[in-house]
Amino acid sequence: MSEPLGERPDRQRDLFDLSGKVALVTGGSRGLGREMVLAFARAGADVVVTSRDLEACERVAAEVEALGRRSWALACHVGRWDEIDRLVDAVYEHPGRVDVLVNNAGMSPLAPSLAETSEDLVDKVVAVNFKGPFRLGALVGARMAGAGGGTIVNVSSTGSLLPQPTFGPYACAKAALNTLTQVLALEYGPTVRVNTLCPGPFLTDVSRWWPEEARTTAPNAAGRPGRPEEIVSTALYLASPASSFTTGALVRVDGGLYA
């Protein structure tokens, strides 16, 4: 008979251990992406940091290396498939594999109305929030399955569940990303696990554009927006062996958002 998990605190720690793993985080140079990059490094992973801003990626990579882990900074616009293909080739050349993929990069411009939303805006929003994760998840997921397994975390938004006309294209693209999670989980399972992390309002750098009230209160059970570091425990859970029987799932981290 196996020993109950609650009686093995060392085993509980091991479940969240990412030692010897390589994580690739898109949009990893700021906001929630940066928090996840540093959390993975503290859990023992080496991390590839990518976004459109190479200098910002290099700064975060330096933070990872200061924690004693290896890191690589690579520029990539995830809305462009040719750049994704080059990114995957570069990562599999060195460090040589991906054990954890986090599709975190996104964009959420507002529009005055649906009728005034341009085709160009829709194309850009869908490219970054859906097409990019589709391509990256397909390429990396296939390689993970061929190598024996891995985990993919798609970072969506509660906007996909509680949409509004002012961010219609974003809500629709993130809803498609939620469905993509299930498709990837079925295609590359059982060795590759794929889940959706669905954040609500968080006080990242974009919150400086919010009204003051939105930075201090929120329509959720917690009564406030989240602090960036509060994404870490859920990200670690989904990326690590702690979630070994969780795949195709959507996990909300929104303080109990209800409107």
Number of domains in the chain: 1
Tell me, yes or no, whether 213 lies in a domain: yes
Check which CATH number belongs to the domain holding 183 and give it.
3.40.50.720
Residue 2 reports pLDDT greater than 70: no
What pLDDT sits at residue 152? Answer: 98
Any domain includes 98: yes
Residue-level pLDDT at 10: 62
At 182, is the pLDDT very low, low, confident or very high (cuts 50, 70, 90)?
A: very high
Range 65-71 average pLDDT? 98
Q: CA 114 to CA 167: how far, in whole Å? A: 9
Residue 9: pLDDT band by 50, 70, 90 thresholds? low
Q: Which pLDDT belongs to residue 67?
A: 98
pLDDT at 3: 43
1 assigned to some structural domain: no
What is the reported pLDDT for 8? 59
pLDDT tops 50 at residue 1: no
Q: What is the pLDDT of residue 251?
A: 98
pLDDT over 90 percentage in the chain: 89
Which residues are known to be catalytic?
Answer: 170
Average pLDDT over residues 175-180: 98
For residue 183, give its domain range.
17-253
Confidence class for position 198, pLDDT limits 50, 70, 90: very high
Q: Mean pLDDT across the chain, nearest whole number? A: 94
Q: What pLDDT was estimated at residue 7?
A: 53
Here the tokens at position 6 are: 């609650």
Which one-letter amino acid corresponds to residue 95? Answer: P
Domain assignment present for 27: yes
Q: What is the mean pLDDT of residues 223-246?
A: 97
In-domain check, residue 100? yes
pLDDT confidence tier of residue 208, bands split at 50, 70 and 90: confident
pLDDT at 11: 66
What pLDDT is recorded for position 25? 98
Q: What is the mean pLDDT of residues 123-131?
A: 98
* Interval 150-179 mean pLDDT: 96
Q: What is the phi-psi region of residue 31: left when phi exceeds 0, alpha when psi lies from -120 to 50, beta otherwise?
A: left
pLDDT-wise least confident of 14-18, 97-101, 130-134 = 14-18
